[in-house]
Amino acid sequence: MSNYKTETKCIQSGYEPGNGEARVLPIYQSTTFRYTSSEQMGRLFDLEESGYFYTRLQNPTNDAVAAKICDLEGGVAAMLTSSGQAANFYAIMNIVEAGDHIVCASALYGGTYNLYAHTIKKMGVEATFVDPECTQEELDAAFQENTKAVFGETIANPALVVLDLEKFANAAHAHGVPFIVDNTFATPINCRPFEWGADIVTHSTTKYMDGHAACVGGAIVDSGKFDWETHKEKFPGLTTPDETYHGIVYTEKFGKGAYITKATAQLMRDLGSIQSPQNAFLLNIGLETLHLRVPRHCENAVKVAEYLKNHEKVAWVRCPSLPGDKYYDLAQKYMPNGTCGVITFGLKGGRDAAVEMMDRLKMVAIVTHVADARSCVLHPASHTHRQMNDKELVEAGVQPDLIRFSVGIENIEDIIADVEQALR
């Protein structure tokens, strides 16, 4: 970790050119890397030596961007993935096997909910979903002998539940398993989950990190704080010989780098969800202004939320940074400088009025996206969460009338004027 402040890390971390080298991180648009000795190439394949040989495993552009995200989160190692979905899949699969179990806060992004509730179940991994507001006892009761991880989102998309990070971290550690946090909505500008006990952080870099809706991507960061060796019997994949690499033991050979090295060496090798170097380059440009954009998103979101709250046609508004919000106190504790640019609201006219209002917006677009510079709206019950039944929707904290409003960084007067004419 560098000693720079967050704003400086956004710009300077991850890439330091040598004398006469490109000032801007170059795009290594190459699948492969040349060696003059076949023996050295062999050592790379055995993980005996570090170096680039094939972009599915590692690429210099991707590594520099991963290093920047790692520094922003205060971790020890990180990797990029092709999407946020791939990041959340790998983060779990790296430490579970068929027959294992995970505990998840139930307020989750729809795709992540499907991944953990249905897809990994077919691979033999079960998930128990707990109400994020459960008591310590209820949370403890969700653990089983075979539980290997706890998962939650800092700010749930789209339920906007602020997770009590310390409560979940304590429960995970009391049961000898890591706490994995999807920090997509808060970003390391507003919250660094490692400071609250999280062990591993994931991101959909598609959102604020890229910030311009230009490329889909993901990242996994390891804090290096979870001691796999102390819980050896639970994590044989990290603490016993890997026969596919001539019997190396990740924790012995790579120490704090064990988790990310294993995810790269096994999961990337076998499943191949890499980010293209071109996308990593664009992501890096987005990261350079993250510290400027995120506060403006948050400021605009609070103003739109205040406007909506006072509007006669609006039934309810959710914005964790707004005094009176159910999660205001947790937000003040974990994210005193702001939460995110996404707010949700419902109209007195219910679901039909929601759809009509959205159709009447002129500048604010209906798109399946959040967290980019442009203001946009989505109706989760008809779009992102449409595979869920009503019970699953309510568990995920998504009311049928909920409009998700991703407030952009346009002039606030223009955003409110558009909402005003649509409501009228």
Ligand X SMILES: *Cc1c(COP(=O)(O)O)cnc(C)c1O
Nearest approach in angstroms of CB 204 to ligand X is 3
| Sign of the alpha-carbon torsion through 149, 225, 139, 205 | negative
Nearest approach in angstroms of CB 112 to ligand X is 5
Nearest approach in angstroms of CB 217 to ligand X is 6
Which of residues 14 and 84 has its CB atom nearest to ligand X in the complex?
84
Helix 350-360 vs helix 412-423: crossing angle, to nearest 10: 130
Q: How many residues does the chain have?
A: 424
Nearest approach in angstroms of CB 364 to ligand X is 19
Residues 73-112 contacting ligand X, CB under 6 A = 83-85, 88, 109, 111-112
- Residue 37 burial (C-beta neighbours within 10 Å; 0-12, 13-18, 19+): exposed
| Sign of the alpha-carbon torsion through 386, 389, 394, 397 | negative
Size of the site for ligand X (CB under 6 A): 17
Tokens coding 62: 């991707």
Tokens coding 219: 């990242």
- Binding residue for ligand X (CB under 6 A) from 187, 206, 261, 375? 206
- Radius of gyration for the chain, computed over Cα atoms and rounded to the nearest angstrom: 22
Q: Is 130:160 a contact under the CB 8 Å cutoff?
A: no
Nearest approach in angstroms of CB 87 to ligand X is 7
**Which conformational region is residue 376 in: left (phi greater than 0), alpha (psi within -120 to 50 degrees), or beta?**
beta
Q: How far is CA 211 from the centre of its chain?
A: 14
Q: Is 78:205 a contact under the CB 8 Å cutoff?
A: no
Which of residues 83 and 276 has its CB atom nearest to ligand X in the complex?
83
Which of residues 110 and 237 has its CB atom nearest to ligand X in the complex?
110
Angle CA 155–157–158, to nearest 5? 120
Which of residues 90 and 250 has its CB atom nearest to ligand X in the complex?
90
- What is d(CA 284, CA 421) in angstroms, rounded to the nearest whole number? 37
Nearest approach in angstroms of CB 366 to ligand X is 17
Tokens coding 11: 């710009």
- Binding residue for ligand X (CB under 6 A) from 207, 262, 291, 296? 207
Annotate each residue in 154-183 with x if it binds ligand X (CB under 6 A) or - if it does not, as one string: ---x------------------------x-
- Binding residue for ligand X (CB under 6 A) from 204, 261, 275, 375? 204
Tracing tokens 């790692």 back to the chain, one arrives at 70
Tokens coding 349: 């006219």
Which of residues 184 and 321 has its CB atom nearest to ligand X in the complex?
184
Identify each DSSP E strand in 114-228 by its residue range. 126-130, 147-153, 179-182, 200-204, 218-222
- Binding residue for ligand X (CB under 6 A) from 63, 153, 164, 401? 153
Nearest approach in angstroms of CB 286 to ligand X is 13
Nearest approach in angstroms of CB 233 to ligand X is 31
Q: How far is CA 192 from the centre of its chain?
A: 12
- Binding residue for ligand X (CB under 6 A) from 188, 197, 211, 218? 218
Which of residues 83 and 190 has its CB atom nearest to ligand X in the complex?
83
Which of residues 261 and 339 has its CB atom nearest to ligand X in the complex?
339
What phi, psi does 47 have (nearest 5°)?
60, 25
Which of residues 109 and 327 has its CB atom nearest to ligand X in the complex?
109
Tracing tokens 């179940």 back to the chain, one arrives at 121
Q: Which stretch binds ligand X (CB under 6 A): 126-134, 170-178, 200-208, 322-330?
A: 200-208
Helices (H) and strands (E) in the chain, counts: 19, 12
Could you say whether residue 190 binds ligand X (CB under 6 A)?
no
Which of residues 237 and 338 has its CB atom nearest to ligand X in the complex?
338
- What is d(CA 28, CA 277) in angstroms, rounded to the nearest whole number? 6
Which of residues 55 and 202 has its CB atom nearest to ligand X in the complex?
202
Nearest approach in angstroms of CB 136 to ligand X is 25
Q: Is 381:393 a contact under the CB 8 Å cutoff?
A: yes
Q: Which stretch binds ligand X (CB under 6 A): 47-55, 134-142, 199-207, 356-364?
A: 199-207
Nearest approach in angstroms of CB 411 to ligand X is 26
Which of residues 300 and 406 has its CB atom nearest to ligand X in the complex?
406
Nearest approach in angstroms of CB 88 to ligand X is 6
Q: Which residue has the CB atom at the shortest distance from ligand X?
A: 84
In which element (H, E) is residue 189 found? helix 187-190
**Interaction site with ligand X (CB under 6 A):** 83-85, 88, 109, 111-112, 153, 157, 182, 184-185, 204, 206-207, 216, 218
